[in-house]
Amino acid sequence: MFLLNTWYVAASSDELSATRPLGRRICNQPMVFWRDASGKVAATEDFCPHRGAPLSLGRVCEGKLVCGYHGLVMGCDGRTVSMPEQRVRGFPPVKAYPVIERYGFIWVWPGDAAAADPDKIHHLEWAESPEWAYGGGLYHIACDYRLMVDNLMDLTHETYVHSDSIGQPEIDEAPPATRVEGDEVITSRFMQNIKAPPFWQMAMRGNGLDDSADVDRWQVCHFVPPSHVMIEVGVALAGHGGIDAPKDKKASSIVVDFITPETDTSIHYFWGMARRFKPEDAELTATIRAGQGKVFGEDLQMLEQQQKNLLEFPGRQLLMLNIDSGGVQSRKVLERLLAAEAAASAASTAT
Amino acid sequence: MFLLNTWYVAASSDELSATRPLGRRICNQPMVFWRDASGKVAATEDFCPHRGAPLSLGRVCEGKLVCGYHGLVMGCDGRTVSMPEQRVRGFPPVKAYPVIERYGFIWVWPGDAAAADPDKIHHLEWAESPEWAYGGGLYHIACDYRLMVDNLMDLTHETYVHSDSIGQPEIDEAPPATRVEGDEVITSRFMQNIKAPPFWQMAMRGNGLDDSADVDRWQVCHFVPPSHVMIEVGVALAGHGGIDAPKDKKASSIVVDFITPETDTSIHYFWGMARRFKPEDAELTATIRAGQGKVFGEDLQMLEQQQKNLLEFPGRQLLMLNIDSGGVQSRKVLERLLAAEAAASAASTAT
Amino acid sequence: MFLLNTWYVAASSDELSATRPLGRRICNQPMVFWRDASGKVAATEDFCPHRGAPLSLGRVCEGKLVCGYHGLVMGCDGRTVSMPEQRVRGFPPVKAYPVIERYGFIWVWPGDAAAADPDKIHHLEWAESPEWAYGGGLYHIACDYRLMVDNLMDLTHETYVHSDSIGQPEIDEAPPATRVEGDEVITSRFMQNIKAPPFWQMAMRGNGLDDSADVDRWQVCHFVPPSHVMIEVGVALAGHGGIDAPKDKKASSIVVDFITPETDTSIHYFWGMARRFKPEDAELTATIRAGQGKVFGEDLQMLEQQQKNLLEFPGRQLLMLNIDSGGVQSRKVLERLLAAEAAASAASTAT
Q: What's the pLDDT at B349? A: 76
Q: Are residues B71 and B138 in the same domain?
A: no
- Is residue B306 included in any domain, yes or no? yes
| Within-domain flag for A292 | yes
Q: Alpha carbon of A152 to those of A187, B239, C144: distances in Å?
A: 10, 73, 42
Residues 6+ apart with CB under 8 A from B276: B126, B131, B132, B247, B252, B253
What confidence score (pLDDT) does residue C351 get?
A: 61
Q: Are residues A105 and A133 in the same domain?
A: no
Q: Which of C47, C71, C86 sits opposite A313 (nearest CB)?
A: C47
Q: Is residue B350 part of a domain?
A: no
B265 in reach of chain A (CB within 8 A): no
Q: What is the pLDDT of residues B174-226, one digit of tens each?
A: 999 999 999 999 999 999 999 999 999 999 998 899 999 999 999 999 999 99
Cβ of C265 under 8 Å from any chain B Cβ? no
The predicted complex's ipTM stands at 0.93
> Are A107 and A136 part of one and the same domain?
no
CATH number, domain with residue A165 = 3.90.380.10
B269-310 pLDDT, tens digit each: 999 999 988 999 999 999 999 999 999 999 999 999 999 999
Contact flag C301-B92 (C-beta cutoff 8 Å): no
Residue C217 lies in a domain: yes
Q: What CATH number is attached to the domain comprising B84?
A: 2.102.10.10
pTM score: 0.93
Give the residue from C153, C163, C309, C331 with the most B CB atoms within 10 Å of its CB, the best one to mutate: C309
Do A198 and A322 lie in a common domain?
A: yes
For residue C52, the chain A residues in CB contact (below 8 A) are 306, 309-310, 313, 316, 318
B:C CB pairs within 8 Å: 68
* One domain, residues C62 and C150: no
Q: Residues 76 to 95 of C: which have CB under 8 A from any A CB?
A: 83-86, 91-92
Q: Do C141 and C55 fall into the same domain? A: no
Spatial separation of the C-alpha atoms in residues B281 and B205, rounded to whole Å: 13
One domain, residues B92 and B172: no
Residue at A16 is within a domain: yes
List, in sequence order, every residue forming a beta bridge with C270; answer none if it has no partner.
Answer: C138, C258
A278 and A141 both lie in a single domain: yes
Phi first, then psi: give them for residue C74, nearest 5 degrees.
-95, 140
| Domain termination site, one of B119, B147, B172 | B119
Contact B306 A54 (CB under 8 A): yes
Q: Is the dihedral of CA A7, A13, A16, A17 positive or negative?
A: positive
Q: Are residues B110 and B134 in the same domain?
A: no
CA–CA separation, C3 vs B206, rounded Å? 71
Looking at the structure, do residues A157 and A15 belong to the same domain, yes or no?
no
- The Cα–Cα gap between C107 and C119 comes to 12
Q: How confident is the model at residue B76 (pLDDT cuts 50, 70, 90)?
A: very high
Same domain flag for A219 and A266? yes
**C41-45 sheet: strands from edge to edge:** C22-26, C29-35, C41-45
Strands A80-82 and A99-102 turn out to be: unpaired
Count up the domains in chain A and report the number.
Answer: 2
The pLDDT assigned to C124 comes to: 94
Which chain A positions have a beta carbon within 8 Å of C93's beta carbon? none
With CB atoms and an 8 Å threshold, state whether B50 touches C321. yes
Q: Do A53 and B313 touch (CB under 8 A)?
A: no
Q: CA C106 to CA C41: how far, in whole Å?
A: 8
Residues 14-43 of C with CB under 8 A from A: 30
Residue B306 has its nearest CB partner, among A52, A58, A86, at A52
Q: Tell me: do B168 and B102 sit in the same domain.
A: no
Q: In angstroms, what separates the C-alpha of C29 from chain A's closest C-alpha?
A: 10
The total number of residues shown for chain C amounts to 351
- Is the pLDDT at B164 greater than 90? The verdict is no
Q: Which residue of A has its CA nearest to C51?
A: A318
What is the H or E stretch that residue B199 is in?
helix B198-206
Q: Which of C64, C86, C119 is the last residue of a domain?
A: C119
Please, what sign has the CA dihedral across residues B190, B193, B197, B200? positive
Chain-chain contact of C161 with B53 (C-beta, under 8 angstroms):
no
* CA distance to partner chain A, nearest, from residue B313 (Å): 9
Can you give the pLDDT of all 351 residues of chain A as single tens digits?
A: 999 999 999 999 999 999 999 999 999 999 999 999 999 999 999 999 999 999 999 999 999 999 999 999 999 999 999 999 999 999 999 999 999 999 999 999 999 999 999 999 999 999 999 999 999 999 999 999 999 999 999 999 999 999 888 999 999 999 999 999 999 999 999 999 999 999 999 999 988 999 999 999 999 999 999 999 999 999 999 999 999 999 999 999 999 999 999 999 999 999 999 998 899 999 999 999 999 999 999 999 999 999 999 999 999 989 999 999 999 999 999 999 999 999 998 888 776
The residue segments making up the domain with residue A99 are: 8-119
What residues of chain C lie within 8 A of the CB of A157, using their CB? Answer: 69-70
For the segment C19-32, the average pLDDT, to the nearest whole number, is 97
Nearest CB to B323 within list A68, A70, A91: A70
